[in-house]
Structure 1
Amino acid sequence: TASGSVAVPGARARVARAGRIYVEGRHDAELVERVWGDDLRIEGVVVEYLEGVDDLPSIVAEFDPAPDARLGVLVDHLVPGSKESRIAAQVTSPDVLVVGHPYIDVWEAVKPASVGIRAWPRVPRGQDWKTGVCEALGWPANTGAAWQHILSRVTSYKDLEPELLGRVEELIDFVTAP
């Protein structure tokens, strides 16, 4: 599979588990599906997007995690001192695992060489990161089209940075643990 797992010929998708993996946005969900979709269907894991993590504690409370309904959450820019780290620290349930990667946005977790660039550009603080990336790379200022271009270049886990790979694998293991 795109994640590096051994494909199970003829396997059918498992009925969805009560547990879930939440990601911050649509692009995160599309990237996780692109690489881990086959594995997630076999395991019965549904990925949903949050549209940001600002309300994470109330979203977790509403989900009402339990040992048979674990929740895994993938957070962008989960670094010490960030707004995201302060929000994640408010989630204390043993049935929730919040992990993250150091990137401003999941776009940056795609290896630059996979996209055909030398490096992701530095975008000045205060400027919208995705718009700044498009501008710096000379791409049209259409972040949706830019994302489709980036996503089209991802064919397997080899196109992603290890900091994202490990976190997604960790979430899958957490929500599928017996």
Structure 2
Amino acid sequence: MSDRYGTDVLSGDWRVPRGGRAVATEAETGLVVEDVQTGYVGAIVSVEKAGGMQVVHLEDRRGRRRGFPLGPGFLLDGKPVVLTVPTAESHAALAAARAQSARTASGSRAVAHAPAKVAAGSRLFVEGRHDAELVEKIWGDDLRVEGVVVELLEGVDDLSAVIRDFAPSAERRMGVLVDHLVPGTKEDRIVRAAEKLPESRWVKVLGHPYVDVWQSVRPARLDLTAWPIIERGRPWKQSVLAELGWAHDTQADVARGWKQILGTVRSYSDLEPTLLASVEELIDFVTVPQED
């Protein structure tokens, strides 16, 4: 027979908070937590003693920092935690674990103490400075080990001329990453024309479908569900910054906006698969010997 009044609300540990009891957690650098009282979310950047108390400093996704008293009142992945001062033992264990399974930002196995090779003849060309900075952040370690230099194209309008000037060969391959490489676009026509050059056998041109490399950063890194849609004719970067509520009037504003976006990228997992596939294939092409 069912109990019309339900279970006894006083049975069990009824004093446990709905979110669970707070768990002691060491305030390790990089841990993202939320201050319950203010709702402020940020990554731990430091813990220091100030005014006779321990203070944890958090940095939010816009690069702003705030300090909070170390201790209770924080959420980690939605669960309550009590932040404590990191111990020497935990630092040593963390360092050992990282050394054991160290990987580069691209996910490759890190080569400890490997000096950068003398620059090889092959090159990886990208359209602009922001593309180059993103490639450097994720694949820089890999490229230095292989001795591959990243060069700027400053647009692809003269791609055929750039290829002829570079004079690619079997020992001097050329990889090119193109923004907004979509069938029927201007970029697509330029690439198709370049592929007809005699030297094109030593050239691989790949791209991504995004208007700008900014869009290759997963929108979730900026707490977005999707990048803003900008109608044709409006300046794309400035318009995106305006939609985000960021300063956007000057070129310096654009530079600062990109710095904030790039700062959210920690590894290859923060980028869209389309960009990852293109860059990885280009790196393979300029570094791995292939049959003629």
Higher relative contact order (CA 8 A, sep 6+): 1
Aligned length in residues = 178
Q: How far has the Cα of 1:128 moved from its partner?
A: 1.0
User: 1: CA distance between counterparts of 2:172 and 2:283?
Assistant: 13
- For 2:246, the equivalent position in structure 1 comes to 139
Q: 2:167 aligns with which of 56, 64, 80?
A: 64
Partner of 2:125: 22
Match status 1:129 vs 2:240: no
Question: Aligned residue for 1:112?
Answer: 219
Letter in structure 1 aligned against 2:259: Q
Q: Highest CA radius of gyration, 1 or 2?
A: 2
Name the aligned partner's letter for residue 160 of structure 1.
Answer: L
Which of 186, 189, 208 is 1:101 aligned to?
Answer: 208
> Quick one: which amino acid aligns to residue 45 of structure 1?
V
Of the three residues 22, 38, 41, the one matched with 2:144 is: 41
The two structures, once aligned, show a CA RMSD in angstroms of 0.7
In structure 2, C-alpha distance between the alignment counterparts of 1:23 and 1:40, rounded to whole Å: 14
**What amino acid does structure 2 have at the position aligned with 1:98?**
V
Per-residue deviation at 1:116?
2.3
Structure ranking higher in strand proportion: 2
**Distance across 2 between alignment mates of 1:30 and 1:48:** 11
CA–CA distance in 2 between the matches of 1:50 and 1:71? 12
User: Which blocks of at least 5 consecutive residues in structure 1 are unaligned?
Assistant: none
SS at match of 1:72: strand
Per-residue CA deviation, residues 59-87 of structure 1 (Å, 9 max, x unaligned), is 11100011100000000000000000000
CA shift digits 1:106-125 (9 cap, x unpaired): 00000001122221000010
Counterpart AA for 1:3 = S
Match of 1:154 in 2: 265
Letter in 1 for 2:225: R
1:2 to 83, 86, 105: 105
- TM-score, length-scaled by structure 1: 0.98
2:283 equivalent in structure 1: 172
TM-score (norm 2): 0.60
**In the alignment, what sits opposite 2:181?**
78
